[in-house]
Amino acid sequence: MEHKTNSPRLRCLIVDDEESAHIALRDLIDSAPWLCFVGGCYNALEAIEMMAHQNFDIVFLDVRMPGLSGLDLLGLLSFPRPHIILTTGFREYAYDGFKHEVTDFLLKPVARHQFIKVVSKLLKKPVQAHAADFTRQPQPDVVTRPLTSQDGNEKDLTWFKVAGKNIPVRFDQIYFVQALKDYVKIHSSQGTLLVYGNLARMTKILPSEQFVRINRSYIVNRYAIREIEGNMVKMLNGFVVLIPVRSRRAELIKQLTR
């Protein structure tokens, strides 16, 4: 006899590059009457696109995957987000996972009793929220100076291609841009965008009077800085970006505060 639950089942996504892991996790999901398998993907980019078009309650996320790792993907997901359960054969990743505020951790091969113990805790828990989630905060008063293009028209936005779509983003909405392997992550008041490219390309797109590259991994909007304390650049969205302690520090602070 089929076991029935009184509430909707939790929608599950599997993100893992190994087919054997998909099979094992699908079997475990099917064994829990309050869970519902909705989809599976084999790399982080597929997961990003799938999560952009469907709602999930739980994501079972592998750590070691080609291209973007599971930890890289965690860095791209804004709150509120589905419950993230790391599934990996390497126990040392548990600490990294909890630094990214994952819900729980399952060591491969996943034992059925451990799986049930972890997912049973989520029956009455809402999706993960975060007090510092800038995508849910009111847009701050960020002042920008419109640029003048060659034809004399003011230009204060640019377009980015994301998952086959062209998306306009105003420069005054961008807090900072973060390098991530072959991609850049654009942090803005409207959320985050993952765009193929690098910081060298972004320095050509973003207005130099407004955006300053402060290290190998970050370009910041100097109009979106809350304050600078020591080598810490505190942004309006609550993030902190570090200025290198030695190289070009004085010059960088001068650029940021001019």
CATH number of the structural domain 149-257: 2.40.50.1020
Cα 13 to Cα 38: distance, rounded to the nearest angstrom: 6
pTM, to two decimals:
0.53
Q: What is the pLDDT of residue 31?
A: 95
**Own/partner pairs, 185-192, CB within 8 angstroms, 24+ separation:** 185/75, 185/76, 186/160, 187/134, 187/237, 187/239, 189/134, 189/135, 189/137, 189/139, 189/140, 189/142, 189/237, 190/135, 191/78, 191/135, 192/76, 192/78, 192/135
Q: What is the pLDDT of residue 128?
A: 57
* Burial class for 49, CB neighbours closer than 10 Å (0-12, 13-18, 19+): middle
Cα 43 to Cα 67: distance, rounded to the nearest angstrom: 8
232, 239 contact by CB (below 8 A): no
88, 64 contact by CB (below 8 A): yes
To 5 degrees, how large is the angle CA 241–CA 247–CA 252? 55
The fold of the 10-120 domain, in CATH, is: Rossmann fold (3.40.50)
Q: pLDDT tens digit string along 140-199?
A: 333 334 434 444 344 688 898 876 778 899 999 999 998 877 788 898 888 888 888 899
**Domain assignments of the chain as residue spans, ordered by start:** 10-120, 149-257
- β partners of residue 178: 185, 218
DSSP annotation of 185? E
Residue of 188, 182, 172 whose CA lies nearest to 69: 182
Q: What is the mean pLDDT of residues 22-51?
A: 94
Res. 39: pLDDT tops 80? yes
Question: pLDDT exceeding 70 applies to what percent of the chain?
Answer: 81
Does residue 100 or residue 35 have the better pLDDT?
35
Q: Would you say the CATH fold of 149-257 matches that of 10-120? A: no
Q: What is the pLDDT of residue 131?
A: 33
User: Token match 């929220």: residue?
Assistant: 129
* Res. 26 pLDDT band, cuts 50 70 90: very high
How long a stretch of residues is the chain? 258
- β partners of residue 219: 177, 213
For 147, residues 6+ apart whose C-beta sits below 8 A from its C-beta are 154, 155, 156, 171, 207
Q: What is the pLDDT of residue 141?
A: 33
For 241, residues 6+ apart whose C-beta sits below 8 A from its C-beta are 176, 214, 215, 218, 220, 232, 233, 235
Cα 14 to Cα 23: distance, rounded to the nearest angstrom: 10
